[in-house]
Structure 1
Amino acid sequence: MLFKTRLVFLLYLFLGTFTLTAQVSSISTFVYHRFGDDRFPSTNIKLEQFEAHLKYLKDNDYDVLTLSEALKRLEQDSFQRTAVLTIDDGYKTFFENALPLLKKYGFTATLFVNTETIGGSDYMDWQQIKSAQQAGIEIGNHSHSHAYFLNGIQQQFEEDLATSEELFTTNLGEKPQVYAYPYGEWNIEMVELIESKGYLGAVAQNSGVLYKEAPQFHLPRFPMSEAYAKLEDFISKLNTLPLRVSKSETKAINNAKPSINLEFQQENLNIDQLQCFVQGAECQKSMQLAAEGIVKLNVRPDRDLKRRRTLFTITIPDNNGKWHWFSYLWVIPSIEE
């Protein structure tokens, strides 16, 4: 009897420890576009790559939630390991190739569609979108026209939003709860409008990890396409933690050479191993450890930027070997694509 009691007690301790170690406070979110369509490798993922992602999530007991569900879960202080899969644009290959795999593994996802292209040659039609919704897929708003809204006036964005919402309501019976900015481009006026319309959150196209204090109306996602979708890369992103920035501001003498200032707590971060990356340029940085363990970081490119969109990425390892991630997308609207 004593042996059985001790065994039960040890088992309780083991399970309790496992439960505690399995609890997390951040969520890795991924964005996909096309599935099994090798005509467009920059936005496509091979089906065997996508299934490997799903199998890993299933084998390792991840909860896979819609974006709306994940935003609600983030209100908790800790929770079961969680991932979010999002898909932009509503291509037919999602319905034909990806949705059957999601059903196979019992997972959901959030599908962002732009309403103007629905029913086009490469795009899902309303019946397919409704069928996906009935299968448990969340439908998100990706605008009507998928325009470069930073090149227009705010009224253009307001009218586009109203058009898309009317079409969603007419065809699906409701408007979406989440929004994805076309090209990941946003400004504060767009954010304020989306929030005022009752959306739970919005995503951009900078990479990073969701956490409770993250700006809820320009959330990050890790891109997944053929070049970045190897299983080891996917697992690495799943295990990445957020760099919990308490203050962020951007300055620019001219639009082509911005400066980004961040503040965050040092805590267990190895700031001497901080890495900074700037697309199309070398990253210059300066860092100061201020009072109460606050790190003040300035990053900037070493030359004028030539791209419309430039991603700034900061990564820092902690004492446990985990990497913490922050990125910011700088947009120069005067550069046309």
Structure 2
Amino acid sequence: MTIINKVIIIKIFLIFFIFLNISTLKAMNIKNSAVVFMYHKFGISKYPSTNVTIDQLDSHILELTKDKYSLQSLEYIVDTIINNGILPANTVGISIDDADKSFFTTAWPKFKENNIPVTLFVNTSTIAINNKNYLNWNQIRLLKNEGVSIGAHSHNHHHMPDLNIEEIKKEIETSNKVFLRELGEIPTLFAYPYGETNSKIIDLIKDYKFKVAFGQHSGVINETSNLYYLPRFSLNEKYGELARVKFAAQSKGLGIYDFIPVNPTPEENPPYIGFSLLDEKLSKSLDCFIFDSKGQVEKKIFKFNERIEIRLNRKLEKGRSRINCTTKGNDGYWRWFGHQFYL
């Protein structure tokens, strides 16, 4: 073998080795991140847990319309994830739950003026001509014509995991029939009332051909996210300060897989919680926090390379509880994963 041939072979080997390492590095990191914010009411101080003040809303819009963010529709975000596309840096989506009248009178004019795409999740039982607190169908049709996307949010806004399977089907089918009658189409996006679901409900949402479904737990959407339990950052008077919005909007996804328990309504209490990281280097600084109605739940975290196992020191209280896991990557960005349980 000549010296020239040896050099060529060595170069080919080096190129292959470099390519292999780059491919492995990309496989260890997510390529997409998207933050979705969720609002309910605007300027109605009587309900601080679901309301944001007008000043808060104005500060959010002023911040999120800066060039460093990319405001996109929820449809664009989920379609890009599903089709393995690439989202712009600092992609942000806006969603509204429950069709409160203050969205129509107060918030939408501001969003519209700033060309901000919005998805409105509607629970159909409250939409009536004489309901003083919620929109009517004429207003929803007007919003739709002006560019607002409409999503499904069940019919009666029940705690869906507390219903039997036939009652859940009725909730979905009744809502679908109303949408067909009033809008001529059934939404492709679904949001669980209170962010509560379980494996049976998720299977039904798939059976009824919804493209994705959203919860109400904090976290950043990425290609490893469960498409039928996507996170959203809930904003209200307490958790709607500008500093939190900035922090969330610039956070990145935490790529995870093999999350347990699979069912958001776990059968065991306390549940055994575990997941694996795409990038095991992030495990070193990773921390997780679990909260229920009593406050923070003490826990122990065990780290086995990319595998994270969490054991709680007590049972979770009945109702909603949440886990939030965060870590700071070498790129300087915070990465955030969240999940909600319902007992």
Aligned to 1:271: 284
Gap runs ≥5 in structure 2: 1-30
1:218-277 CA distance string (max 9 Å, x none): 100011111111112101001111111111112999744222111113354262452433
CA distance in 2, matches of 1:300, 1:145: 36
TM-score normalized with structure 1 length: 0.85
Aligned match of 2:274 = 261
- Pick aligned residue for 1:71 from 75, 78, 88: 78
Determine whether 1:314 maps to 2:318: no
1:302 aligns with 2:310: no
Of 93, 97, 113, 1:104 maps to: 113
Structure 1 stretches lacking a partner, 5+ long: 1-23, 333-337
Alignment-derived partner of residue 243 in structure 1: 254
How far did residue 61 of structure 1 move?
A: 5.0
1:113 and 2:122 aligned: yes
Distance 1:134 1:116, change over 3 A: same
Q: Which letter maps to 2:215?
A: A
Structure 2 distance, partners of 1:261, 1:213, is: 15
Q: Which amino acid aligns with 2:95?
A: T
More divergent stretch after superposition (318-327 vs 156-165): 318-327
After superposition, residues 119-198 of structure 1 pair within 5 angstroms as 119=128, 120-198=131-209
**Kindly, what percent of the aligned residue pairs are identical?**
29
Aligned partner letter, 2:192: Y
C-alpha distance 124-223 of structure 1, shift in aligned 2 (>3 A) = same
Number of aligned residue pairs: 306
Contact 1:87 1:109 in 2 (8 A): yes
Q: Is the 8 A contact 1:281 1:301 kept in 2?
A: no
- 3-state SS in 2 of match to 1:311: strand
Cα shift readout 1:158-191 (whole Å, capped 9, x = no counterpart): 1111100110110111111100111111112211
The Cα of 1:297 is off from its aligned counterpart by: 1.3
- 1:284 pairs with 2:299: yes
Q: 1:272 to 1:209 in 2, by over 3 A?
A: closer
- Match of 2:272, SS state, is strand
Q: Which moved more, 1:298-307 or 1:185-194?
A: 298-307
The structure in which a higher percent of residues are strand is: 1
Give the Cα separation in 2 of the matches to 1:296 and 1:271.
11
Aligned partner of 1:10 in structure 2 is none
Question: Partners in 1 of 2:304 and 2:204 — Cα distance?
Answer: 37
